Amino acid sequence: MNKVKNFIEWHVFGVCSAIGEKMGIATSTIRKYFIYLSFITMGSPLIIYLFIAFWMNVKRYILNSKRNPIKY
């Protein structure tokens, strides 16, 4: 079970862990509430999750391009 958990945490976008670090809340709690909200609202938090994941990847791409002085 720990192998599956570690795989998911390393290969998923990391939205819940980023929110947890910024707000000071355990990531397991955030994931649990995200799952509950997804069941209650029939999956609409997935749209928010994907938007945040997209935004985090764009932000990471912009920061990496600013650090690299060599343009190809």
Q: pLDDT tens-digit profile of 51-70?
A: 888 888 777 777 777 666 66
Pair 18, 30: CB distance under 8 Å: no
pLDDT for the residue 4: 76
pLDDT for the residue 31: 83
Measured CA angle at 40 (ends 51, 36), to 5 deg = 75
Determine the average pLDDT of the residues in 14-22.
81
Determine the average pLDDT of the residues in 38-58.
82
Instruction: Give yes or no for residue 21 having a pLDDT over 80.
Output: yes
Predicted TM-score (pTM) of the model is: 0.56
Instruction: Give yes or no for residue 1 having a pLDDT over 80.
Output: no
Q: State the CB neighbour count (10 A cutoff) for residue 17.
A: 16
